Structure 1
Amino acid sequence: MTPLPTTAIDAGERIRAAGLRVTDSRRAVLVALGERPHVSADELFPLVAAQLPSTSLQSVYNALGDFVDAGLVRRIEPAGRPGLFELRVDDNHHHLICSSCGRVEDIDCAVGPAPCLTPSDAHGFAVRVAEVTFWGVCPACAEASALPSST
């Protein structure tokens, strides 16, 4: 797996390698995304703005869209939630989402080579990727719901 960019220099190299022009905004978005995987554009914006006060929410959305198109970032779309973005794009992994608090965890492909799931009828498609989302309750939410009410 490719290491996450931790500096603006690393981010600039990855952006350039993806065939995109390096800008301060793109670099700041990629560095912030390396610090907070599984984050929406709206959640990412304050992190980017802290490093680059002149940026806008629209520039964060634009950078993320460019990154997704270039294969540098993956967008996941959990049902009922805004799109989330992550840098882990070079493997076939899945996600586990807490239906209470929304916490997202990566789950490695359980069995077999990519796409690790074989449809019963592919209808002639050459399947390359399977996206699986597991829903459950994280340990913190399960523990909180098991506590007696204080009322």
Structure 2
Amino acid sequence: MSDLLHRLRDRGWRLTAQRRVIAEVLDGEHVHYTADEIHALAVERLPEISRASVYNTLGELVALGEVIEVTTDGRAKRYDPNAHHPHQHLVCSGCGAIRDVRLSGDPMAVLPEAERFGFTVSEVTVTYYGRCPECAALG
């Protein structure tokens, strides 16, 4: 059973067949699917699942804090189930592939006090951009 399914069960979230399939599709460390990709993969497991069920469930999972919405460069929103493990993202500027990366240091420590302009910083998001090996091979 996936980490996401365990977390949802622990919360007492009602796992209908549709919700279970969506959680199963989201299983994995480097999963960053769009809602349409999640729907297509869910249909393979449960042909009668509707696009509305996928969108509604993703909205609920985001509101619960169990899934993170990731948006990069105006591309479609992607959904990251790795919500409870601190990480940042590495994004291919060619194909849009996203990988989770774990920084060895504290990203909060990188911002000097003088550059905080009096802000109380509560969250840091770092996104690295580059080209994945497949896109780099294309030139």
With structure 2 as the length reference, what TM-score do the two structures score?
0.85
Amino acid of the structure 1 residue aligned with 2:54: V
8 A contact 1:19–1:70 mirrored in 2:
no
* 2:21 corresponds to which of 21, 24, 28: 28
Aligned length: 136
Q: Which amino acid aligns with 1:22?
A: L
Structure 1 counterpart of 2:133: 139
Aligned-partner SS, 2:26: helix
| Unaligned runs of at least 5 residues, structure 1 | 146-151
**In the alignment, what sits opposite 1:5?**
2
Supply the AA of the counterpart residue of 2:19.
R
Matched, 1:121 2:116: yes
Provide the rounded CA distance (Å) in 1 between the counterparts of 2:53 and 2:127: 29
Q: Deviations over 1:24-64 (max 9, x none)?
A: 11110000111571110011101111111111111001111
CA distance in 1, matches of 2:41, 2:72: 22
Corresponding position of 2:9: 16
Distance 1:108 1:141, change over 3 A: same
Q: RMSD of the alignment, in Å?
A: 2.2
How many Å apart are 1:87 and its aligned residue? 1.2
The separation in 2 between residues aligned to 1:123 and 1:60, in whole angstroms, is: 41
